[in-house]
Chains A and B, each alone.
Chain A
Amino acid sequence: MIRDDIESFADYDNEFIKSIAEQAIKIDNDFKAQKISKEEYVELLEDLNLQKNISQSIKDLSIQERLNKLVTGLITAASAL
């Protein structure tokens, strides 16, 4: 469900949003394939939130909020493992 939402951002016309979504997908794939640890996974996802703050070109607050929720959702799901 979260994963589907993130994939929907990968076709976005804002290159920063697209980049964050593509990275989230790759990070999630590597975690599921056990190529990175849970600790590394959480750290990399937290980086995406910092990237979102840095790229101030995402003016749409509702998109910012959705991205926040998706990344936080992935972190919460990983923490429960």
Chain B
Amino acid sequence: MSSKLFLLALVMLLSGCSSIFMSNYDNYEHSLYNEIRTVSELGKTECSNKEEIKKIVKTLYFKASLLKNYAGALDNNEKSFKISEDLKTIISELHKRYSNVDEVSSNYCELKLTSIEKAAAAAQYNIARKPK
């Protein structure tokens, strides 16, 4: 019995305890954060183009939904799932505004896309540090 406990302790020590309680690095999950970050970064230049920005907002909403569903389906991924939920909340407000309001100011658009870009970059930083 004590040798089993010793073995378990050794495994936890060698693997870094976190890897036992957290899902491993997932390339696709990381890639989705990178896409959201990049689309919002480049999208800022289109804030004055009414038709183009609507397409960009739709893309961001789709990718945020894809990410949330994907992160939620991974085992032991609660922390990352919470991050994907928070990011989707930020993006949903933008999506709602472009769906319901005729005129959205370009200042709001630029600030909001900066917010999404920074949030996705912060998330990406954390996701990249998951155990490999």
Contacts and interface: CB of A to CB of B under 8 A. Distances in A.
A19 interface: yes
Interface residues of A, number: 22
Interface stretch (A5-13, A22-30, A64-72, A73-81): A22-30
Interface string A46-72: 011011011111000000000000000
Interface stretch (B41-49, B70-78, B122-130): B122-130
Given A35-B107, A36-B105, A44 B119 contact: no
Contact of B119 (A35, A36, A54): A54
Contacts of B118: 16, 19-20, 23, 51
A16 B123 CA distance: 11
Interface in B40-93: 79, 82-83, 86-87, 89-90, 93
B8 interface: no
A27 B126 CA distance: 26
Contacts, number: 65
Contacts of A56: 79, 126
A60 B128 CA distance: 21
B34 interface: no
Given A30-B107, A36-B108, A43-B93, A50 B119 contact: yes
B132 to A, nearest CB: 18
Given A23-B114, A57-B125, A51 B108 contact: no
